[in-house]
Amino acid sequence: MIAVSAPVADPTRVRSAELTDPAVFTAHLREVLAPLRERFADGGTRHTEGDRVAAVEELRDGHTDEVARVRRFQAALFDLGVAWPSGPLDHGGLELSPRHDTVLDEVIDELDLPSREALFVGLNIVAPAVLRHGTEQLQAATLPALFRGDLVGCQLFSEPGAGSDLAGVNARAVRDGDDWVISGQKVWTSMGHLADVGEALVRTDRNVPKHAGLTMFLVDMHAPGVTVRPIRQMTGGAAFNEVFLDGVRVPDSCRIGGVGEGWKVASTSLGSERSLMSGVAGPLTPYVLERLVALVRRLEPEATAGTQAQVARTVAAVTAMRAAASLGPATWSHRLEPVCGSVLKMLMARAADEICRLALAVLGERAVVDTGDPDTFAWAEFVLGVPALHIAGGTDEIQLNVIAQRGLGLPRPRPAAS
């Protein structure tokens, strides 16, 4: 049973009307986080772990120690009262805007403090679902713990036979008194082997339309019956996992939302994930862009007309992505606002493609052959990882359909004549 609680930070230490101004909040963060540099920045591996640039999360030797270190860093943020700027006061937040969450990520990067990538799923996918749909009891038990790093979360959505067609999941949950018994298999679970809790989308009713028969649960990843197996990626890393649920008992108190409301809960999680993928906490981090700029400048004497054109396309794609990511909800049209996460996700994927093409145009075979030269083969990992960005958070094809049909009101395509 999940029974973790965490002390809620005293927000009165940092909460004031002035902090609503992002510029003031930035200055405040620089002041309160500066002392953490001595404890965390010097031992960090984000910028010093070797000559590598990654598009998706990767785990290397020593990652267990690094994740433990990131959890300590997250606890320090929580104790300072700044771990969750947009969160509610009752759970350690500051009740500021989502823009303030972005400011926190920007200042963390600026001060060379640890990347919170290993905590991304728990903070940005699991937590929004619990906050919006969970009971007060579940919120109190999990939200402060997630944002203090006491719990690491993962996402148990995709299955071998249900990826793009997520509503077709077959993992099932059967009610047994005050518990539910869950059985099935999940796949592509980021950080599953490090997680303490998993947000599991399962089928509780097979006699209704598939979207209506789903329910969401928060599963204890250490419970009997949970087996996690790493999946080796072509990049060499193993951040993804397959998860087997064999008669796992989950208390009804760990249900997120109502029975049969799993699709609505999943939409909250996926919307949050897609919206954040184009920001500084997403795959195209400031570090990736810094490395790209340095690469182009260093090899500028070798530039051709084709390379220069690709530079222009890349700048345009990244600028569009960043501009769209900075828009507030009220800025989008009333039709596009509900699908803005899909738009942002597509802009991120397109920008990643352009960065990949530019790195290959500049480096040529040096991007895929390890000659020992710095800042060359390092990009191989990025190039190999970019295809995954067209799948993570929902495939491009699904996102384009969402934008076209739900955002623009276009008709569904007619089936091809037989």
Q: Please tell me the distance from the alpha carbon of residue 418 to that of residue 413, in angstroms, as a whole number.
A: 15
From first CA to last CA, the distance across the chain in angstroms is 53
- Please state whether 406 falls in left (phi above 0), alpha (psi between -120 and 50) or beta: alpha
Q: Please tell me the distance from the alpha carbon of residue 292 to that of residue 300, in angstroms, as a whole number.
A: 12
Q: Please tell me the distance from the alpha carbon of residue 170 to that of residue 112, in angstroms, as a whole number.
A: 43
Residue among 184, 187, 156, 155 nearest 170 (CA)? 184
**What Å distances lie between residue 203 and 170, 186, 216, 217, CA to CA?**
6, 13, 9, 11
Structure tokens of 364?
Answer: 């040529």
Q: Please tell me the distance from the alpha carbon of residue 400 to that of residue 57, in angstroms, as a whole number.
A: 25
Which residues are part of the catalytic machinery? 273
Structure tokens of 193?
Answer: 């082997």
DSSP β-ladder status, 172-176 and 153-156: unpaired
Q: How far is CA 186 from the centre of its chain?
A: 18
- Please state whether 217 falls in left (phi above 0), alpha (psi between -120 and 50) or beta: beta
Long-range contacts of 357-361 (CB under 8 A, 24+ apart): 357/310, 357/313, 357/314, 358/292, 358/296, 358/307, 358/310, 358/311, 358/313, 358/314, 359/292, 359/295, 359/383, 361/306, 361/307, 361/310
**What Å distances lie between residue 140 and 12, 143, 297, 321, CA to CA?**
19, 6, 50, 35
Q: Please tell me the distance from the alpha carbon of residue 339 to that of residue 266, in angstroms, as a whole number.
A: 14
Residue among 162, 358, 177, 144 nearest 262 (CA)? 162
